[in-house]
Amino acid sequence: MFTGANCRQVSPGGKYFPQHSAVEHLASFAQAVNQGHGDYTTIFLSEIPQLFRRGFKPLDVAILQVSPPDKHGFCSMGVSVDVSRAAAQCAKILVAVLNPQMPVTHGDSAIHISHFDRVMHNDTPLHCMPPRPATAACSDIGRLIAENLVQDGATLQMGIGTIPDATLACLGGHKNLGVHTEMFSDGIIDLMRKGVVNNSSKTLNCGTSVTAFLVGTQALYDFVDHNPAVRVKDVAYTNDTNIIEQEHKVTAINSCIEVDLTGQAVSDSIGTRIYSGVGGQVDFLRGAGRCDRGVPILALPSTTSKGDSRIVPTLKAGGGVVSTRSHVHYIVTEHGIAHLFGKSMRERAAALIAVAHPDHREDLERQGFEQGVLQRAWGGFSQ
Q: Which are the catalytic amino acids?
A: 182
Whole-angstrom Cα distance, residue 346 to residue 369? 10
Nearest CA-CA partner of 227 in 109, 105, 126: 105
Sequence-distant (6+) residues with CB within 8 A of 59 are 1, 2, 3, 52, 87, 90, 91, 92
The helix/strand/coil state of 354 is helix
CB of 284 within 8 A of CB of 252?
yes
Where are any strands of DSSP class E within 47-92? Answer: 61-66, 74-76
Q: If you write DSSP's letter for every residue of 218-264 in order, what string do you get?
A: HHHHHHHTT-TTEEE--HHHHT-HHHHTTSSSEEEEEE-SEEETT--
Q: If you write DSSP's letter for every residue of 169-213 in order, what string do you get?
A: HT-TT--SBEEB-SEE-THHHHHHHTTSB--TT-SSSTTSEEESE
